[in-house]
Chain A
């Protein structure tokens, strides 16, 4: 299998994640979509690193995973806080920035 196969797979997963972010009503569902997109990026990084013989990409993947976990933890904490204040889970109801 060549590099292109991995990249294609990553692109497909990325677009599925994007679709989820755009369509999910639940904030937790949106976060799940974001996780999928980040994962596809990780796949890309590792594939490029392996096919170019440079280990730097993999180190970056390590960092990405750590940051993703931190982001997920903070994001979910925010969701809990939001639930507590606004009593809603639906992203459409969170429109304080409406013009």
Chain B
């Protein structure tokens, strides 16, 4: 069993376990922390796939950014409501059946498909390739993305601003 396989299984267990914890744990704050772990696990998976740059972005934006925002939201709303937010679930049985069914069918669809087992050699550094592609072929979507981020920022501020 090579190091790659070992690392994959480790990350898979961490990822699946933390994901389950996110959707099952009673405490919302804990769920957020579990989400942070899951996102970090995802960053690990990216590393396994030779995408170091994406792993870094994942860590910075998600594990850093989103988790911070969520925690902030929880804190603000708890203060507004004045009670602890408990995290209960509804229709667990039905949700499990439907989600399990979807999973089973997805796996069934993948079974027997001729997926490549080996990775081709990438031409040079992947980070450099991503950078070049973003700034040449996808430069227009990239700029639009900047506009989108700005709009989202302003919208979020507008929504969440205190009453006058």
Query: Is A–B contact present in the complex under a CB 8 A cutoff?
Result: yes
Q: How does the 8 Å CB contact mask read for B120-164 relative to A, with 1 for contact and 0 for none?
A: 111000100110011000100110010011011101111110010
- Chain A contact residue count (CB 8 A cutoff): 69
Cα distance A47–B110 when bound, in Å?
14
Q: Which residues of the partner chain B approach A66 to less than 8 Å between Cβ atoms? A: 61, 145, 148-149
Q: Which residues of the partner chain B approach A55 to less than 8 Å between Cβ atoms? A: 122, 126, 129-130, 133
Q: Do residues B42 and A61 form an inter-chain contact, with CB atoms below 8 A?
A: no
Q: Do residues A43 and B42 form an inter-chain contact, with CB atoms below 8 A?
A: yes
Cα distance A85–B69 when bound, in Å?
20
Interface of chain A, helix or strand or loop or mixed? helix
- Chain B contact residue count (CB 8 A cutoff): 86
Q: Do residues B116 and A79 form an inter-chain contact, with CB atoms below 8 A?
A: no
B29 to chain A, nearest CB (A): 10
A33 to chain B, nearest CB (A): 6
Known interface pairs A55-B129, A63-B145; A25-B89 also in contact (CB < 8 Å): yes
Q: Do residues A61 and B152 form an inter-chain contact, with CB atoms below 8 A?
A: no
Q: Do residues A59 and B133 form an inter-chain contact, with CB atoms below 8 A?
A: yes
Known interface pairs A16-B99, A46-B54, A61-B54; A5-B42 also in contact (CB < 8 Å): no
Cα distance A8–B58 when bound, in Å?
21
Contact of B103 among A1, A4, A15, A72 (CB under 8 A): A15
Q: Which residues of the partner chain A approach B119 to less than 8 Å between Cβ atoms? A: 50-51, 53
Q: Which of A55-99 contact B (CB under 8 A)?
A: 55-56, 58-59, 61-63, 65-74, 76-81, 83-84, 87, 89, 92
Q: Do residues A4 and B89 form an inter-chain contact, with CB atoms below 8 A?
A: no
Known interface pairs A28-B85, A42-B42, A46-B51; A35-B66 also in contact (CB < 8 Å): yes
Interface residues, chain A, CB within 8 Å of chain B? 1-9, 11-20, 22-26, 28-29, 31-33, 35-36, 39, 42-43, 46-47, 49-53, 55-56, 58-59, 61-63, 65-74, 76-81, 83-84, 87, 89, 92
Q: List 6 A-B contacts (CB under 8 A).
A: A6-B45, A8-B110, A19-B23, A53-B119, A66-B145, A69-B65
